[in-house]
Amino acid sequence: MDKLKINIGNLHLKNPVMTASGTFGYGKEYSDFMDLGRIGGVFVKGTTIRERQGNDYPRMAETPSGMLNAVGLQNKGVDYFVSNIYPEIKDFDTNIIVNVSGSTIEDYVECSQKLVALEKIPAIELNISCPNVKEGGMAFGTSACSAADVTKAVREVWNKTLIVKLSPNVTDITEIAKAVEGEGADAVSLINTLLGMAVDINKRRPVLSTVTGGLSGPCVKPIALRMVWQTYNAVKIPVIGMGGISSWQDAIEFILAGSSAIQIGTHNFIDPTISVKVVDGIKEYLDKNNINSITDLIGALQV
């Protein structure tokens, strides 16, 4: 399948299909359902410098054509990941990419420093949708300056592929993308979840314990496509697209809009084998249309 190969910085992918952080555990949870070696990479769940219990229940809610989540980055911390989880997943025949989260720039830097020595972790993804406690709780990713600052600080300690995951909860996502590109990001991934809420009319209360949560699923796809297309036309670094992808046709749409690779998120909960089906669908599309390389499709949208 050489025609499916793609590079994101120094990250070499056998194909452009990967799984999104927070929807695929650490990969091992899905290994009974599919051969992980058939996909380009796995973005493991959000990892923080210290253990986090996550938010109170209820923290998930179904919505029309999607879902809301307010899990709150529940994980056992980076030291536990290094000691207990990494040894179990490091030999999977795919790229293992760690999603790094934090509440301060120092958190991101310290977490990244603990991961950089791990030979089988070729890249990290900075989740800048986290609240910056030193800036009154505003997410790093909603300010170009804040996004640039955290990218610059991590770039100084991380010498492998650096991907920055962008928040869609902004006026102009291209300004954030250009800011992180300017500070050394090798790629951007988008979109993270949109801010939403659900209401229980019988209790007259919000469904989620946190009132608001992150909206994902097919309902966000048109917004994600628009933001991917805008970002592709604004930066020179690769774009990794995600947001409501549930078929190979969806993946092709994102690639045409400018994605060098894609991540599948919410649909993993519906069909745990969806990623390999998308790989096969893309391959068949290329064969049927006599396209020699997936790179010929990137940004090929005719506007």
Checking 198-204 for CB contacts under 8 A at 24+ apart, the result is: 198/61, 198/63, 198/68
Inter-residue contact 260 to 298 (CB < 8 Å): yes
Per the structure block, which two tokens stand in for 27? 């990969």
Cα–Cα separations (whole angstroms), residue 118 to 39, 48, 65, 87, 241? 21, 16, 38, 10, 26
* Rounded distance between C-alpha atoms, residue 22 and residue 292, angstroms: 33
Q: Which residues are annotated as a binding site?
A: 21, 45-46, 69-73, 99, 127, 165, 191-193, 217, 243-244, 265-266
Sequence ranges of the binding site for FMN: 21, 45-46, 99, 127, 165, 191, 217, 243-244, 265-266
β-pair partners for 13: 6
C-alpha distance across the termini of the chain, in Å: 30
CA dihedral sign of residues 183, 188, 193, 195: positive
Burial of 171 (0-12, 13-18, 19+ CB in 10 A): exposed
Query: Taking a C-beta distance cutoff of 8 angstroms, is the pair 83, 63 a contact?
Result: no
Cis-peptide into 16, omega within 30 deg: no
Using the Cα atoms of residue 43, residue 15, residue 261 and residue 216 in order, give the sign of their dihedral: negative
Bridge partner list, 11: 8
Q: Are 160 and 124 in contact (CB under 8 A)?
A: yes
Name the token pair of 233: 């036309």
The active-site residue, picked from 111, 130, 145, 219, is 130
130 counts as catalytic = yes
- Any idea which residues carry the catalytic annotation? 130
